[in-house]
Each structure stands twice: as structure tokens, then as C-alpha cells.
Amino acid sequence: MAEQIEIEFKNLLTKMEFEQLLAAHQLSDEQFVTQKNHYFDTPEFELKDRSCALRIREKAGRYEMTLKEPLPTGQGLLETNAELDFKTASAILSGSSIPLIDIQNKISLLGIDPNHLSCFGTLTTSRAEIPYKGGLLVFDESTYFDVTDYELEYEADHYEKGKRAFKELLQKANIPPRKTENKVKRFFNEMQRVKAIEE
């Protein structure tokens, strides 16, 4: 079980902006890796309501469960990560309870019963990463339901320096800053929209 603070900045892109940035940073198709995020919540979306997220990430045959909680400062997230073997990940995805005591306890401290959590679906991302100004620049093409979106993320060690570097990058590329929710929020918003149409 490991904890880390995540400071990242993100901006949704048009497909054309995404392709222009790939060309500007000389990225090729071979540099992209596919990963799947399997998202969890209660039927009442109690994690989402607390701006938290729980997922199992499947990447290159490895599985990792991550609980994300907002920091009190509002400048980043606290991530609690745990590696899972295939058997455990498959059992959780099939509806078994989460066997990780640390993550169970953290969810309970949020006032949520861990036994009420279930997997709501999967978001698949094709991702490329490159070092950039002391941080990590991340290019994501994500698909969920009938949606494909394009996103640029910048992971930094320091909030103000990272914010400045990301803002300058967008300005240089003539890309307007856009209010961008994280992937889990976009996933759940689309899921609720689809469900409302079906009803």
C-alpha cells in the first residue's frame, strides 16, 4: 500500500489540437500504451459526491487499485495505491468485496460502506507520456460509452510552477484553457446522461 500526492493540470482538446500537439512533440503511434480504468461507486454515487474516486487500472497485464481523495488545500489529490494480482482484481470486478484493509478503512472514514461499492464500467485510454520542464506531459485519447475525448495532462511536483508551465504550453500552442473535469467525473456524467435517455 502506498500513498502519494498527485498534482496535475488538464485541458480537453479537439482532435485537431491533439494531433497538432503530437506533431509538435514528435510523438508516434508506437509511444502510446492502452490502459483500462474500471470505476467503482455506490448506487447513490457517494464517492463522486465527496469528489473522491476509486478505480482498478489494468495496464500491461498489471492491476492496481487507487483511491483518490481531494487534499484540504484544494491543490492536488491524495492517492492510495495497491497492487493486485489477476485473481484478486477479477474477483473485485465480478462483485466480491474489496480485501484491502487500508482502502476499506479510508472509505469507511468517508462515511461510506465499502460493501456497497460496485464496478460501474470501464474507460479505455490510449496514453503517451514525455518528460516536460521537470514534470510529465501526458497525451490521452479516451473512449467510454459512445464518447471519444482528447486530453492533455501535466503532472508536476510543485503546484505554482506546474500551473505556470502548463499555462505557457497552452498559450504557445494557441489552445484555449477549458474547464476540464477528471476522467471519472466525465465517465459518470456520461453514464447518467445515457441512463436518462434510456429511461
Does residue 125 carry a pLDDT above 80? yes
* DSSP H or E stretch at residue 80: strand 77-84
Distance, in Å, from the CA atom of 18 to the CA atom of 190, rounded to the nearest integer, reads 21
Count of all residues that appear for the chain in the document? 199
Residue-wise pLDDT for 2-38, tens only, equals 888 899 999 999 999 999 999 999 999 999 999 999 9
Q: What is the mean pLDDT of residues 61-73?
A: 93
Percentage helix, strand, coil for the chain under 3-state DSSP, each rounded to 5: 35, 40, 25
* DSSP H or E stretch at residue 156: strand 147-156
> Half-sphere exposure of residue 26, counting CA atoms within 13 Å on the CB side?
1
Name the residue with cell 497492487. 83
Q: What is the mean pLDDT of residues 104-123?
A: 94
Q: What are the C-alpha distances in Å from 85 to residues 17, 38, 178, 179, 185? A: 38, 15, 38, 36, 27
Residue-wise pLDDT for 46-62, tens only, equals 999 999 999 999 999 99
Q: Are 120 and 188 in contact (CB under 8 A)?
A: yes
Q: Are 77 and 70 in contact (CB under 8 A)?
A: yes
Average pLDDT, the chain: 94
Does residue 69 carry a pLDDT above 90? yes
Does residue 197 carry a pLDDT above 90? no
Does residue 66 carry a pLDDT above 80? yes
User: Where do the domains of the chain lie, and which CATH numbers do they carry?
Assistant: 2-198 (2.40.320.10)
pLDDT of residue 167: 97
* Reported pTM: 0.91
Distance, in Å, from the CA atom of 176 to the CA atom of 11, rounded to the nearest integer, reads 9
Does residue 73 carry a pLDDT above 90? no
